[in-house]
A and B are shown apart, each in its own frame.
Chain A
């Protein structure tokens, strides 16, 4: 097993909700990145939980920018560091709203310019910071404050949008597998060019489950096949262990949807839509891994 450094770059304690998986993700991202790192943060939960001015819980420089500008800001920052012959890691840490909806043009632009940075999207599948409004990443059938009857549309597949930019490295991760996340961030930072990591971050108040089930929920998402852990390195896909097991024998999807209040009263059609989309994605990825397409 990989040795994880003991140093913490996220001090006790942010004002995140009890059981917040974003704090857990950020803890391991910063452990992997080390002290020579700059975080760029658009408006998201993490930009409001840092602390009360003039104090902050972050022990690395953080630059808080406007929602749509994170990747553009990181582009300039990275160019300046490289011009000064510094190898400082530039990491964008953005929520799903700041990635799939509002920040997508800046993200696309930065990837097209081949900026040397790492973009991490922690995905709680709604705008959690403002009280769980629907985002492009909300899955079918999930109740949010703006879709009280369940979202009728499907989740936007940001991984395939990013893949179209042909980045040298992209991966998905989940907060319930911190070792896997640590390894992926370390690998991403060792590669030059634009990198993307999409992390599933279960959210207790938004998904409406008890706080102690945060890690369990992440594991269930992977084990039921609703979230696939994979890496794409220079176009070559590798599906990671837990997801490989889930593709052979997935748990029933009800075990993942059942404990979540946001899926209460979900219709049979919506469940079928969720499952068929997940199975189709898994099939496509395993074919890509075999080199068929």
Chain B
């Protein structure tokens, strides 16, 4: 078999740090949060973990978490340059 096949290897961050795309950053208000887990469930990029911490290295800032939060515990804050 040929030694050099065009096979990609799986890794975290294969497309670079997509967090740099973000315009608005989600901020979780722990006081209001009732830990329902909807934000983690609906995040397309799994940037929210089970402790509801946002991985800002990868969060693209789409805002689905803030929109779906039933307690409105996530605010979208503009990123400072």
Contact = CB atoms under 8 A, between A and B. Distances in A.
Interface of A: 6, 8, 10-21, 23-24, 27, 49-59, 178, 204, 210-216
B62 A211 contact: yes
Contacts of B14: 11, 14, 50-52, 55-57
A52 B15 contact: yes
Contact of B58 (A6, A12, A55, A211): A12
Given A211-B63, A211-B64, A215-B68, A23 B44 contact: yes
A56 B18 contact: no
B15 A57 contact: yes
B12 A11 contact: yes
Given A13-B60, A27-B46, 17 more contacts: A11-B11, A12-B45, A12-B58, A13-B15, A17-B60, A18-B21, A18-B61, A23-B45, A50-B14, A51-B15, A54-B9, A55-B14, A56-B11, A204-B62, A210-B63, A212-B64, A214-B62
A19 B42 contact: no
B66 interface: yes
Contacts of B50: 6
Contacts of A216: 67-68
B10 A56 contact: yes
Nearest to A28: B41
Given A24-B42, A54-B9, A59-B10, A13 B18 contact: yes
A21 B45 CA distance: 10
A115 B45 CA distance: 32
Contact of B9 (A19, A55, A210): A55
Contact of A215 (B11, B47, B64): B64
Interface of B: 6-16, 18, 21-22, 41-47, 50, 55, 57-58, 60-64, 66-68, 76
Contacts of B9: 54-56
A19 B10 contact: no
Contacts of A17: 60
A57 B62 CA distance: 19
Contacts of A51: 8, 11, 14-15
A267 B76 CA distance: 36
5 contacts: A13-B45, A14-B14, A178-B42, A210-B63, A213-B67
The interface centre, meaning the residue of A13, A58, A204, A213 with most chain B CB atoms within 10 A of its CB, is: A13
Nearest to B76: A212
Given A27-B44, A214-B62, A215-B68, A53 B6 contact: yes
